[in-house]
Amino acid sequence: MNHETWSEAQAETTVTVDGHDLSLAYRDAGTGEPVLLLHGIPTWSFLWRRIAPPLEGQFRTIVPDLVGYGNSDRRDGFDRSIRAQEQVVADLVDRLGLDEFHVVGHDIGGGVALRYAAHTEGRVDRLVLSNATAYDSWPVEYITSLGLPKTAEMDEEAFRAELDRAFVDGLERADPETEWIEGMTVPWLRSDGRRAFARAAVATNTNHTTEIDYGAIDADLLCLWGAADEEQPVEDGRRLVEDVGGEVLAFDDAGHWVTEDRPAAYREQLEAFLSG
């Protein structure tokens, strides 16, 4: 599936963050137990292109673009932090009438999932985290360097080179697909993209994961981790399992973009865990 087809399949709703009504694009397909898949920075829901569609035969998959990302609201004037995205998740699942569901989170999407799971009881059944932001391991230098006013004024060619570097360097495979690079970068290459990226980058806040009471999380946890990731190391997954319980499965030949490096193995482990 290419990024145009993915975008065409998205629905739209309104969520409220700190009093701001914001448009939220999301994919909702399949039937069965609901599974919410949350992307991180600097991605959008297309991150799950190899994971969500195959799940649809067994699960209802709900895959939003977090606010400030992809096809969701990206204008100025609202918070894009993990704390704010937790409000987005809370509002979305309530609007969809979901009482209990599974959550899969990557990067800051994992941080959002951790906050939501720690602040609710009995809502998140099974929790899957992949190369997730937790504790104080983030933000990384690449993101903070672009969370500056100069990013909005950056030369388009230089900005595109920075984006390409992120989506290539985070892979272990030597032959990234053109559709992966194009699909990941296309939302940021729109006229408001550089400004939106700067706003998202500057909103990263370590305090939003250091303040989590990890022991309050009652979900069953599985960490599916790309072990070659130096920025969000697999040691964080092991620490999460010590605090929450659960299991870590590390893919030695996968980096930060584990769903792209090892999609088949990732799907197999994910489906087995969600199916109990």
Closest CA to 237 of 84, 144, 107, 94: 107
The pLDDT tens digits for 216-259 are: 999 999 999 999 999 999 999 999 999 999 999 999 999 999 99
The pLDDT tens digits for 167-194 are: 999 999 888 999 999 999 999 999 999 9
The pLDDT tens digits for 54-86 are: 999 999 999 999 999 999 999 999 999 999 999
CA–CA dist 67, 80 (Å, integer) = 6
The pair of three-digit structure tokens given for residue 16, joined into one six-digit string: 């409220």
Q: What average pLDDT does the segment 94-106 reach?
A: 97
- Location of structure tokens 């230098």: 141
Query: In this structure, which amino acid lies at residue 107?
Result: D
CA–CA dist 36, 62 (Å, integer) = 5
- pLDDT(153) > 80: no
